[in-house]
Amino acid sequence: MPKRLNDEITFMILPHSGHTPFSFKMSWGVLVFCLTILFFGALFVIGTFFFALSVNSKLSDYQIVKSQNARQVEEIRQLKIESESLKKDLKRLSDEERELRSNLGISEPSDSTSKAKSDKSSSIEGITPIGSEDMGNLFGVTMDPRLANIKNELSIVRTQLSSRERSFLQISQIAKRKINEYASFPTGFPADGVITSYFGYRPAFGDFHPGIDVATSYGSPIYATGDGVVVFAGWYLSGYGMTVIIDHGNGYETIYAHDSAFAVRVGQRVRRGEVIAYIGLTGFTTGPHVHYEVHHYGRVINPMSVVGANPAEL
């Protein structure tokens, strides 16, 4: 390298085509300057080339992301539809449950707090989204509002679903209990016969009839009108003759009088419709019939008010 950039050099161009040669001079400084310019120019060109390449790859990435995004938007839309239909299904389920409850005579869920909570979360949109947004911030991801919305809805559905599940479990337990309980209500009919005498005051006899008389042929079976335990089977009072008394629980007792024979023993569990005795003429009676009484907490009630009744309404 020269000591000073001011030193000059000559360039001579000799065309091999035989044309007249020519020469020019240049100082080292200019040469260095030109070479520098050339160097950076080349650098710039190369840099631009690679930048274009990267932009191109980014563009293709962008296209991929764009198509992915479009697909995801469609998926989100489908999800939204799905979630809407889920919500609708849940609503229908809820309505049916309410109907079931009213039919079974079961009150609204005792854990009303959970129901209130789910109602609250569905009415106040702000609760769940805040959670999901927090999550998004945690991972440095901004969540698509539509997605957040769907997440919110799905979480509502989940909450409601678990609440419904609890509720149904309760209903099922109550229903099981009720079915047992209902079976024990004396809603059946004591014999396959005709009612010859109703409950209440009888002008013909001038007395108060505490039950109903169901007449049929001698020896016909007498059925238990509900599940229960035989608490008495024997000669009962003066006029009743051979009598079976069944305790049904819930304060109900039924009395079947004037029997000819027993089919059960004291302490035996009986089911509704089970034969417990046979029609007879024991006690004061004018013909073969069963005298059927229903007691509720020791008080005589009209058997016709419970025969065939819906146990839920008793």
Instruction: Give contact residues for other proteins (rule: CB under 8 A).
Output: 12, 14, 16-21
C-beta of 26: minimal distance to other proteins in Å? 19
Q: Strand 212-215 to strand 22-27: parallel, antiparallel, or no bridges (unpaired)?
A: unpaired
Compute the 3-state secondary structure of the chain and give helix, strand, coil in percent, each to the nearest 5: 45, 25, 30
Burial code (b: 16+ CB inside 10 Å, e: under 16) for 124-161 equals eeebbbeebeeebeeeeeebeeebbbbbbbbbbbebbb
C-beta of 18: minimal distance to other proteins in Å? 3
Query: For residues 14 and 37, which CB has a smaller minimum distance to other proteins in the complex?
Result: 14
C-beta of 10: minimal distance to other proteins in Å? 12
Collapse the DSSP code of 242 into the 3-class scheme (helix H, G, I; strand E, B; otherwise coil) and give the result: strand
C-beta of 23: minimal distance to other proteins in Å? 9
C-beta of 9: minimal distance to other proteins in Å? 16
Task: Name the region of 37 (left: φ>0; alpha: ψ -120 to 50; beta: rest).
Answer: alpha
Query: For residues 11 and 218, which CB has a smaller minimum distance to other proteins in the complex?
Result: 11
Q: Please identify which residue in the block is written with the tokens 């999550």.
A: 135
Query: For residues 14 and 43, which CB has a smaller minimum distance to other proteins in the complex?
Result: 14
Query: For residues 1 and 12, which CB has a smaller minimum distance to other proteins in the complex?
Result: 12
CA atoms of 100 and 178, how far apart (whole Å)? 13
C-beta of 11: minimal distance to other proteins in Å? 13
Q: Which residues contact 189 (CB under 8 A, 6 or more apart)?
A: 214, 223, 225, 307, 308
Tokens describing residue 208:
């108060």
C-beta of 28: minimal distance to other proteins in Å? 23
Query: For residues 17 and 113, which CB has a smaller minimum distance to other proteins in the complex?
Result: 17
Query: For residues 12 and 141, which CB has a smaller minimum distance to other proteins in the complex?
Result: 12
Query: For residues 17 and 123, which CB has a smaller minimum distance to other proteins in the complex?
Result: 17
C-beta of 15: minimal distance to other proteins in Å? 8
Query: For residues 14 and 73, which CB has a smaller minimum distance to other proteins in the complex?
Result: 14
CA atoms of 283 and 232, how far apart (whole Å)? 16
How deeply is 76 buried, as exposed, middle or buried, from its count of CB atoms within 10 A (0-12, 13-18, 19+)?
middle
Collapse the DSSP code of 270 into the 3-class scheme (helix H, G, I; strand E, B; otherwise coil) and give the result: strand
Q: Please identify which residue in the block is written with the tokens 């909450």.
A: 159
